[in-house]
Amino acid sequence: MTSLDRFPFDRCASELLVALRVGHVTSEDLVQAALAQIEKYDPHVGAFLAVRGEKALDQAREIDRRRARGEKLGLLAGIPVAVKDNLCMEGEPTTCASRMLANFVPPYDATVVARLKAADAVIIGKTNLDEFAMGGSTETSAFQKTRNPWDLERIPGGSSGGAAACVAARMVPLSVGSDTGGSIRQPAALCGVTGLKPTYGRVSRYGLVAFASSLDQIGPLAQSVEDCALLLEVLAGHDPRDATSINRPVPPYRELVFQRPDAIKIGYVPEMLSDGVSPDVVRTMEETLNVFRSLGAEIREVALPHARYAVATYYIMACSEASSNLARYDGVHYGYRTDEKAMLAELAEERRRLQQEGNLAALDDLDTALVRLYRKTRAEGFGAEVKRRIMLGTYALSAGYYDAYYLKALKVRRLIRQDYDQAFERVDMILGPVTPAPAFRIGEKINDPLAMYLFDLFTVSANLAGIPALAFPAGLSTEGLPIGVQLQGPPLSEERLLQMGYLFQQVTDWHRRRPPLIENDRLLS
């Protein structure tokens, strides 16, 4: 083992791939480094729900052997990667940070996991998330909190909080998350890393435990744009097992990212820099616009008139689809089931009591054993936020309300998409904030769901419109917390976004800053 930087994962993946190829370092070295970093910092950060150290080392050694034999290896050969725990991995628990799936071990790999394996990536472990990806702070995880490596009292963002935090804390160079209403971009921004939500359908959803089917997308998180490009190329592509996946060739993102795009017009929406948005964010946006100007981009104002309906539209659609997607968690076929004996005893006791009281009406209405099984399993298996969203969704879809809510949301969604289509006739991409403020404190908004939901106001539109969006660090708040911005583009314009992001990272160094936890190697006592 040759000497490495103090934090091997300060280097981007493409550098590490070169180092591996020329033999400066082995995959086993990298995995050992990852495991050491995790052992040191994760007790404080809590990014990982599960670390498969032995298996990862075995895999790494095997890749080293194959490399020594001169065999052809995949694009990510030997690189440690972390995967959000709502992506199914054969033989490994996939819990979605929920009691409901605490004991669920999938018999199959998600397509993206299969692609990672085919690329010879070494999957180190599964990262923490908001339960069933429902949340913006990773606080709704049933198992543990994840803390922002920049300030352990603050949230890392969500729902891919673990995936963002482990990259920020230099535990792995690459991680894979999912984004339904901002769940890659928002934690990326709050943790000072780069994250991409691809065009809807660019990456197969097969094996991603569904939250909102028409909004979910899987995407890369890394410290740099070029690493995101590399990982995206591995993840993307048509999948016959996902009827919504796009059947178009995958461009060589990992090469295209370095190309300088022609005259780019970047739009921004002035309203997004008005009240409600923290001054730090406004300042970062203005500075970022200046950087792009200096890079030769033409900056224009654009309008997205229906953006103010985006949060409401998003929550109606996402919760409606979720209420249906989560119906399968009923304790019958897999996952958590309530204690049947206790349940039956409880029911028998109720029946006895009602019979004694002579309450025939209530007796008639009494749950059957099946219904009581469903009720208790779901009451015990799901956390509060998940229940809240299921109830909202069930309500929005129910007879008499469907037209006013779900159908209406479908229509507004189309209008939001049309806003973007029209804007993209005038500009190539739109720059905007990711969040209205930097990371808030743990516990600050958890009892105010509406406030939590409103924090999503800048990210949900991209999911509603199905367009790609790249989030990258662009500044620090006065308190030293990361602030991210995002570039949104037309469908299948990932190359352009990556190219502009790469250019930005050539002339700035926000993405290279390290959280104090790591920088000062200071542990919180």
Partner 1 sequence: MSMGERPYKIVIGLEVHVQLLTESKLFCGCSTKFGAPPNTQTCPVCIGMPGVLPVMNRKAFELAVKTGLALNGEIARFSKWDRKNYYYPDLPKGYQISQYDLPICRGGYLDIPAEDGEGTRRIGIIRVHLEEDAGKSMHDEKAGRADSRIDLNRAGTPLLEIVTKPDLRSPTEAKTFLTELKLLLNYLEVSDCNMQEGSLRVDANINLHIPTDDGQYVATPIVEVKNMNSFRAVERALTYEAQRQYEAFLETGHKLGDVPKQTRGWDEDAQITRPQRSKEESSDYRYFPEPDLVPVTITEEELERIRATLGELPAEIRRRLQTTYQITAYDSDVIVNQGRAFVDYYCRLAQGCGDGKMAANWVQQDVLRTLNERQWTIAQFPVSADNLAELLRKVRGGELDTAKARMVFAEMVEQCCSAGEAIQRLGIVQVDEGELRRLCEELVAANPRVVAEVKAGKDKAIGSLVGQAKKRNPNINPARVKEICLELIQRQS
Q: Which residues bind partner 1 (CB under 8 A)?
A: 86-88, 94, 96, 101, 104, 106-108, 110, 205-210, 212-214, 240-244, 320-321, 323-324, 327-328, 330, 332-334, 370, 374, 394, 397-399, 402, 406
CA distance linking residue 147 with residue 445, whole number of Å:
15
- Which residue bears the tokens 């919504």? 244
Nearer of residues 43 and 107 to partner 1, judged by Cβ: 107
Nearer of residues 278 and 324 to partner 1, judged by Cβ: 324
Catalytic residue check, 159? yes
Report, in Å, the least distance between residue 376 CB and partner 1. 14
Query: How many CA atoms lie less than 13 Å away from 13 in the CB half-sphere?
Result: 29
CB neighbours of residue 426 within 10 Å? 12
Spatial contact of 175 and 126, defined as CB atoms under 8 Å apart: no
- Which residue bears the tokens 């019958």? 332
Nearer of residues 108 and 143 to partner 1, judged by Cβ: 108
Catalytic residue check, 175? no
Structure tokens at 412: 């507004």
Nearer of residues 46 and 466 to partner 1, judged by Cβ: 466
CA distance linking residue 41 with residue 521, whole number of Å:
9
- Which residue bears the tokens 């616009």? 289
Nearer of residues 200 and 424 to partner 1, judged by Cβ: 200
CA distance linking residue 130 with residue 162, whole number of Å:
9
How many degrees, rounded to 5, is the angle at CA 124 between CA 26 and CA 67?
A: 30
CA distance linking residue 364 with residue 257, whole number of Å:
66
Nearer of residues 13 and 212 to partner 1, judged by Cβ: 212
What SS3 state is found at 275? coil
Structure tokens at 90: 């054969």
Nearer of residues 67 and 202 to partner 1, judged by Cβ: 202
CA distance linking residue 221 with residue 159, whole number of Å:
13
End-to-end CA distance of the chain: 32
Q: What sign for the dihedral angle of Cα 6, 35, 158, 207?
A: positive
Report, in Å, the least distance between residue 96 CB and partner 1. 7
Looking at the DSSP bridge assignments, the partners of residue 471 are 195, 486
Spatial contact of 219 and 232, defined as CB atoms under 8 Å apart: yes
The crossing angle, in degrees rounded to 10, of helices 340-357 and 369-381 is: 120
Q: Taking Cα atoms as reference points, which of 128, 3, 144, 122 lies closest to residue 54? A: 122
Catalytic residue check, 245? no
Q: Taking Cα atoms as reference points, which of 396, 493, 475 lies closest to residue 438? A: 475
How many degrees, rounded to 5, is the angle at CA 310 between CA 304 and CA 314?
A: 150
CA distance linking residue 347 with residue 321, whole number of Å:
32
Nearer of residues 22 and 243 to partner 1, judged by Cβ: 243
Report, in Å, the least distance between residue 370 CB and partner 1. 7
One-letter identity of residue 95: T
From residue 244, alpha-carbon distances to 97, 125, 160, 239, 255 in Å are 26, 28, 23, 9, 27
CA distance linking residue 427 with residue 380, whole number of Å:
50
Task: Point out the residues that are catalytic.
Answer: 84, 159, 183
